[in-house]
Amino acid sequence: MATNSTVDQIFSDNSRTLAPAAVGSQVALMSIVSVVTVLAFNLLRPKNKVIYEPKVKYHVGDKKPPRISDSLLGWLPPLIRTKEPELVDKLGLDAVTFLRFMRMTRALFSTIAALCCVILIPINAIYNINHVDPTDRDVLSMLTIRDVAGSYLFAHVAVTYAISAAVMFFVWRNWKSMLRLRQEWFRSPEYVQSFYARTLAVTRVPKKLQSDEGIRAIFESVQVPYPTTSVHIGRKVGRLPELIEYHNTAVRELEQVLVTYLKGGRIAKERPQIRIGGFMGMGGVKKDAIDFYTAKLKRTETAIEEYRLQIDTRKAENYGFASMAAVPYAHIVANMLRSKHPKGTDIALAPNPKDLIWANLNKSSAELFRNRVVGFLLMVLVCFFNTIPLFVISILANLSSIAVYVTFLENWAKASPGSFAFVSGVLPPAVSALFGFFLPIVMRFLSRFQGALTHSRLDRAVVARYFAFLVISQLVIFTLIGVGFIAVENIVNEIGKHASFQEIVDKLDTLPQTINRTYIDQSSYWLTFFPLRGFLVIFDLAQILNLVWTSIKTRLFGRTPRDIREWTQPPVFQYAIYYSNTLFMGTVALVFAPLAPLVVLAGAIVFWLGSWVYKYQLMFVFVTKVETGGRLWNMMVNRLLISVILMQLLMVLTIGLQYGFKSFFWLSTVPPILFVVGFKFYLDKTFYREFIYYIPSEDELREAKVHSSRADASGNRLEKRFGHPALHAELFTPMLHAKMMPLLQDVYKGRVATEQTKLEEYGGQKMEAQVVGDGLKIAAVEQRDLEYDPALYQRDRGELDWDQQSIASNAFFGNANGSDAASIYHQKAHYYNASNGGRASPAPTAYDRYMAKGPSNSQSEIELARLNTSIDQLPLLTEQQVYGYQDRSQPALPPLPGYTSPGRMTPPTRYASPAPSPTRYVAQSQYMPPSPQSQYPPHPGMFRSPTEGYREAPLHRPQPQQHRQNSSYQDEPPQQNFAGRGIGRGY
């Protein structure tokens, strides 16, 4: 009977708060809704594959996702069977990095949850049953550290040591795997063949060096060990990008107005109107929308044509690019110059051109400083106003306390305790999620305004700032607001008892205990937060909003051909938002793990759901905007370690408040903080440098594919790849459904001509168009052509270089005999499995001899054509020339301060050429010109002394790839790649 009495007391209606009922309501509701959402996904998926499986149709090369069944749970087997090596090949390293982080958090928090629930929950429950009055506890507080005191607390301290050790172990093990994946990505054909991989970006170029020759002079001034093969200074384009964006936006607006006006193949009763000027639909002047946008397009087209004619006369920008002969050379030079600023510039590895934010490249230092200050102030302002919802959330989370002072809440709680508990459990996390939706968007805009140079840098900025805001606002400020509520409640109670002012002040000494109870009691809120996050993960899988919005837009406004084309493509995965939310959930779970073990258990469940849902989405739905090789990994790990430190700091506060800081018992919680800090320094020293840069071995450096200055300069590769996209961006052509085209004669009162026009959106395909107004062309798009062409998608998404894509396109369209000698390799998954990098094709036995002595008299199988007898017989490296293209016979130049220049010394074996045969050089001297240095001076970008000379390296034509023995992958012929024009657009 005593046991039953205790249980009755635990679940009594006289419990201190309604938190258990609120948490139960939220868990029940989110569980039911999540199950319904999963069922809806299984029913909708087979008939809506353009939403749920777009990558089956739209993929690059042979990266098609595995076959998926239409059965109810047919999407699960591919998720279970597909392992990481295949994912790297098909999804890219960014996606695999995210999935690995999700798997790591899943395993880590499952371990922590098991540790805390098995050890701490029994200790907390036993202590509460034996030492805490039943009227002062509830079923949730019994499972927390709130009322535990005495020696029991050291069990919690010991568990924090175990948690810190578990985090460090999982991080270390996954860091090793990520470093291996990153190094294999550096050596993969996809990366090695990319032109940007061997290109350096030079920013903050001084005015006097803003020219191609100036870029060369910058590299010569620091005596880099490898010369540049080509350089390019950026050119000012003025407002041309804005004009192009303005024009393309006007095209979209005109298309939408026409489709709405002609929806259903019938002309609407009234022509669409647009209000120019005014505010919120009031004031201004109404104009015909069709005539307005038509005139706007014609004016913009004329302005763009005139503006482009003036581009060549404009001045240079303060940024430029320089290509190196090989990928390892670029990384070695970038690593050398990472902390130096030659001539006041910053030199780093160039990003993928599609990743660049061109508008921020040309900003001056003063403009960047001003934008950063203004952006920071705006960020503070946004974060300040975004704390207002925290008051709302805090009020909703403390409804049971406020109800005593608000009459209608008190009456509601007494009349319907079930609905009151339901609302107090569901509303707080729902309001938090609603306001949290817009904040990352605002932060991304402000980060761009502050001068971020790449989209991947924007992702890192959003993760850093959004994560910091969530921790500060929803953990720190939210807790302080809760403390304020409790403090005000206590003061009001004392006033109600007619206590004097001095008595109220004297009772403020209980504030530390109030703080301790408050942030532990808030674990109930986080137990309602995690079920909502779990539902949102499932909701992401079902994509209900996408279906509903598409249906509404189609029925009310109509969809333009452009909308349909863009809608059918796989959407871009927003890594910054998903990473931030995952990190914040991990921080909350870690911070409350030793305080309220149920929170970390809820977090582990959400991480398990997320790891499978996001794997499906990345395999079948989403794509990566620009591949960065898992660059966000280091940032995620750093913030996970910060979360561990936050957990320890809160444990320091908890022990200090329980025992008093004068007892020094709180010092027992400090060592794990020092361990984590030391572990962070160990990670940086062990992994960071090799993670950021490609560090080649001696063999890899010797066998690296070398490109010549002649090939890079003759093809204008650098200018094509890193020229501003506005210089060659194609303007949108208005498109309309073919069935609506006959109605244009009634829309535009006047003669409408018909002709064929070339649509760049369709790869230059000619389509029928009608010429209306003052020469505006509107193309007709048939129903069969509405969806995006998979071949064009492969062209635009391909990661090969601009020039290599052109070769692939020429070969496909009947011009296989292109003059560009760049190699095209087929991407292979075994490059990610191989422990060591290597050549993409086997080097012939004559290759080393060729590199050492030049071509033989006979036509070699890798020597396609002799360019010039006297030049071609010059060796690539003479026996006097060594590392850095320097002559040992010349006096060494003094090294730069703090910089060890490659002096004229015996080179390491990896930089030495094979010893030449004396007889061969004697024979060559009979027909070599007496002074090749004067007749064939070296490239201006090469560091040299006045008397030395050497020939440029010819392009190496690789042999067909041979089959690797003991490999589980079969070699296949190279696939055609359709990538081309879109590579330079910057998207």
- Tell the residue number behind the tokens 């107090």, with chain if given: 424
Q: Chain centroid to CA 468: how far?
A: 18
> Which string of DSSP letters, residue by residue, matches 244-308?
HHHHHHHHHHHHHHHHHHTGGGS--SS--EEEES-BTTBSSEEEEHHHHHHHHHHHHHHHHHHHH
Pairing of the two strands 776-781 and 735-737: parallel
Contact 806, 818 (CB under 8 A): yes
Dihedral sign of CA atoms 678, 682, 683, 689 in order: positive
Q: Which residues contact 410 (CB under 8 A, 6 or more apart)?
A: 403, 404
How far apart CA 541 and CA 590 sit, in angstroms, is 26
Q: What is the 3-state secondary structure (H, E, C) of 557-621?
A: CCCCHHHHHHHHCCCECCHHHHHHHHHHHHHHHHHHCCCCHHHHHHHHHHHHHHHHHHHHHHHHH
Over the chain (987 residues), the average pLDDT of each successive run of 10 is: 40 48 84 91 88 87 84 89 92 95 96 95 91 82 86 90 96 96 93 93 92 92 90 88 91 92 86 79 80 89 83 78 94 92 92 91 86 89 76 64 62 71 68 73 88 90 88 79 69 65 61 72 85 89 82 76 86 92 93 93 95 94 92 94 93 82 81 95 94 92 88 82 84 89 84 76 76 82 80 68 40 34 33 37 36 38 36 40 39 41 39 39 37 39 38 40 39 38 36
Name residue 203's beta-bridge partners: 319, 346
DSSP state of 985: S
Q: What is the 3-state secondary structure (H, E, C) of 363-401?
A: CCHHHHHHHHHHHHHHHHHHHHHHCHHHHHHHHHHCHHH
Give the residue among 554, 345, 572 at the shortest CA–CA distance from 458.
572
Classified as helix, coil or strand, 638 is helix
Q: What is the 3-state secondary structure (H, E, C) of 337-355?
A: CCCCCHHHCEEEECCCHHH
Q: Please state, in angstroms and as integers, the Cα–Cα distance from residue 651 to each residue in 134, 190, 590, following that order.
A: 26, 48, 11
**Phi and psi angles of residue 270, each rounded to the nearest 5 degrees, phi first:** -120, 140
Contact 938, 949 (CB under 8 A): yes
Residue type, 110: S
DSSP state of 838: -
Please give the model's pTM, rounded to 2 decimal places.
0.76
How far apart CA 780 and CA 741 sit, in angstroms, is 7
First and final C-alpha spacing in the chain:
72
Q: Chain centroid to CA 121: how far?
A: 39
CB-based burial, 36-73: b 16+ in 10 Å, e otherwise: ebeeebeeebbeeebbbbbbbbbbbbebebeebeeeee
| Residue 505: predicted pLDDT | 61
The CA angle 811-814-820, to the nearest 5 degrees, is 40
How far apart CA 462 and CA 468 sit, in angstroms, is 10
How far apart CA 794 and CA 58 sit, in angstroms, is 8
**Phi and psi angles of residue 699, each rounded to the nearest 5 degrees, phi first:** -65, -40
Classified as helix, coil or strand, 752 is coil
Q: Please state, in angstroms and as integers, the Cα–Cα distance from residue 235 to each residue in 87, 320, 558, 726, 727, following that order.
A: 40, 9, 41, 11, 10
Contact 428, 482 (CB under 8 A): no
Classified as helix, coil or strand, 234 is strand
Number of H-type helices and E-type strands within the chain: 41, 12
How far apart CA 835 and CA 184 sit, in angstroms, is 8
Pairing of the two strands 285-288 and 735-737: unpaired
> Which string of DSSP letters, residue by residue, matches 189-217?
HHHHT-GGGGEEEEES--GGG-SHHHHHH
Token representation of residue 362: 């040309």
Dihedral sign of CA atoms 965, 966, 970, 971 in order: negative
How far apart CA 400 and CA 406 sit, in angstroms, is 10
Q: Which residues contact 617 (CB under 8 A, 6 or more apart)?
A: 540, 541, 573
Q: Chain centroid to CA 598: how far?
A: 32
Give the residue among 324, 318, 15 at the shortest CA–CA distance from 140.
15
| Residue 231: predicted pLDDT | 93
Name residue 202's beta-bridge partners: 320, 347
